[in-house]
Structure 1
């Protein structure tokens, strides 16, 4: 099966893509293009999957860069292979041609950034914690430090869990209201004392409030098991583990 890659016209001619799970070598609960070395999938199979992504992005395998994601607001500025162990961060920026920035997700937001004219790119992993703590704004600031113009940056949120599938408890809502009571608009009532949180809507708000153009591809990871991995869906199904999607951009 060939790779399936979701792209956005908003990122111009830059080679990029939100890869689905189709076209990979993994099997079982990981069936497809699992690129998560942190999963319990066979490491040699994950390496094959990552090699396929590198080929699609037209970069050597060691130029497909990923970091050790920890739900932080930390951003790494990169210009070549990272070596091992990968730095702990949840976003990367670069102005180096031939370097591909990769983000791993399984419900959280993968966000790809570009100022095409300035030749500066970024990629961020934005779950609820990272988004609330400012990883998106930190990525934009790091791009500006490399020469990007804030008003020229475009950000695209890829496949993420949608509000319909993202049920949370009252303590989750409280964490957001403690930051800003206006964040109540990203929640709707669910069953009993539960709520449903609009993660992509919150991401779009933070990005646009930071002064950049932003859009969401409108793909829900939870709702489409054939195309996307989902941590929450795997948890509900009592599966032992789950695959990780990769989203990539390069100059």
Structure 2
């Protein structure tokens, strides 16, 4: 029997269901234990489908996921997707906008930054996968623009930055740190042991501020040091957790 589902819920406005899953609550076996939601990590597909079903029940409806490629493409989802086939993908995208009543969207991570956004009044939500390459490519900006194009008001947007690898843990070569910081200066960091690093959550927060999203909350848990969360950098073969948000309705 699966353990009790543990989701780090966040408040993105009236009627919006939003949160970040943890390892707890699923049926996958080690090394994917227990709530692995990633369909591309060699886990048993039946276990992944069952795990996604658990998250769909928490969200209040099926959750649409994309095939993430570390880019800036956005898919706009108009009707609930995923009920017939929980493992289906809406395409190669790193951000999804839920633009219909009750539409739920999610992104999968194991160190990258999951970002959730919502304009509850407009009934619009978005989930963003912001890794190093996607952040530099502008995936956060692209998601906000897609929300605005769909009818969101920047002044009403609320965002939540989920668990990810933290600056003190994310060691990179100095050349790579400088390359990323040239695009997003706030990412420049140093590890807890004094070597060059990247602080992706700080970069995401800065980009959100620059595009007019001022209401930003952060779930400051470091995937690398937190055994309750998946971390690819720590474990190599491992599962994926999700940031999930469902529009009102």
TM-score by length of 2: 0.90
Q: SS where residue 161 of structure 1 aligns? A: coil
Shift of 1:91: 0.2
1:88 aligns to 2:95 (yes or no): no
1:64 aligns to 2:68 (yes or no): no
Q: Within 2, Cα distance between the matches of 1:186 and 1:23?
A: 35
> Corresponding residue for 2:74?
75
Shift of 1:174: 2.8
Q: Within 2, Cα distance between the matches of 1:188 and 1:12?
A: 39
Structure 1 runs (4+) deviating above 2 angstroms are: 9-13, 80-86, 176-180, 188-192
* Larger helix fraction of residues: 1
1:168 alignment partner, one of 169, 172, 189:
172
Contact in 2 for aligned 1:20/1:228 (Cα 8 Å):
yes
Contact in 1 for aligned 2:119/2:158 (Cα 8 Å):
yes
Contact in 2 for aligned 1:3/1:23 (Cα 8 Å):
yes
TM-score by length of 1: 0.89
Shift of 1:189: 6.4
Q: Within 2, Cα distance between the matches of 1:96 and 1:138?
A: 19
> Corresponding residue for 1:238?
none
Residues paired across the two proteins, number: 239
> Corresponding residue for 1:195?
196
Contact in 1 for aligned 2:172/2:197 (Cα 8 Å):
yes
Alignment of structure 1 residues 4-15 onto 2, 5 Å: 4-15=6-17
Which runs of 5 or more residues in structure 1 are unaligned? Answer: 236-240
Alignment of structure 1 residues 199-214 onto 2, 5 Å: 199-212=200-213, 213-214=215-216
- Over the aligned positions, Cα root-mean-square deviation in angstroms equals 1.8
Shift of 1:186: 2.7
Shift of 1:95: 2.0
> Corresponding residue for 1:119?
123
Q: Within 2, Cα distance between the matches of 1:189 and 1:250?
A: 35
Q: Within 2, Cα distance between the matches of 1:161 and 1:41?
A: 22
> Corresponding residue for 1:109?
113
Q: Within 2, Cα distance between the matches of 1:27 and 1:207?
A: 37
1:247 aligns to 2:236 (yes or no): no
Q: Within 2, Cα distance between the matches of 1:168 and 1:162?
A: 12
**Structure 1 residues 94 and 196: CA distance shift in structure 2, 3 A:** same
Shift of 1:190: 6.8
Shift of 1:86: 3.3
> Corresponding residue for 1:151?
155
Which runs of 5 or more residues in structure 2 are unaligned? Answer: none
